[in-house]
Homo-oligomer: A and B are copies of this chain.
Amino acid sequence: MSDPDERDTRSKILIAAATMIGEGPATRLSVRAVAARAGVSTGSLRHFFPTQQELLDTVVEGLQTLDLPDDPMADPTRPPAERLEACLRVLLSSVGTGSTARRNWVSLHDAYIAAAGRDDTAPTFLAMERLAVDRVERWLAVLREEGALRPGDLEGHARFLLTVVNGLSLERALPGAAARIGSEAASLRQAVSAVVS
């Protein structure tokens, strides 16, 4: 539409930061460096992103949510492994990234780990877990019908995949998440390849 310089300041900042990450994953996104790259003052940057953490989270989230379709298993044109990976990515996307991931984790922790015993929330959790397992099993059943699934019981495969998704979700909330976006994709693919044939 128009020259990047004519975009609003917030966008200029995000574009500058994303560009810098693109130039090298090991880039230090300091306030001054990003502000200078965006042609904006540090104070202006802080106006839109009150803390450096918020800036980082917003950038990473933007890089990750570039594409999100609805049920990917239904698309018969894509190979099985690719479809399953997309499905798991849908699960993963529900925890979000950055501060969203952290907030979701705090909720889960407070409800099901810290409050264990003090309040009987176990049934709720187990119900949700069942739902998740069922959902993955339904995806895997489609693949089995196509003969694209390795031998083994459906529930075992489903629980394995959910464990990987849980691990990745957790790692999204831990420090250094931004630097691990690459290995997240690789791990997801490895998990899928352990299940499809």
Contact = CB atoms under 8 A, between A and B. Distances in A.
A102 B116 contact: yes
Contacts of A186: 156, 159-160
Copy total for this chain? 2
A187 to B, nearest CB: 4
A177 to B, nearest CB: 10
A33 interface: no
Interface residues of A, number: 45
A94 B195 CA distance: 28
A105 B108 CA distance: 12
Contacts of A156: 183, 186-187, 190
Interface in A125-167: 125-126, 129, 152, 155-157, 159-160, 162-167
Contact of A190 (B121, B126, B183, B194): B194
A122 interface: yes
B105 A175 contact: no
A173 interface: yes
Contacts of A174: 112-113, 125, 129
B106 A109 contact: yes
A193 B175 CA distance: 29
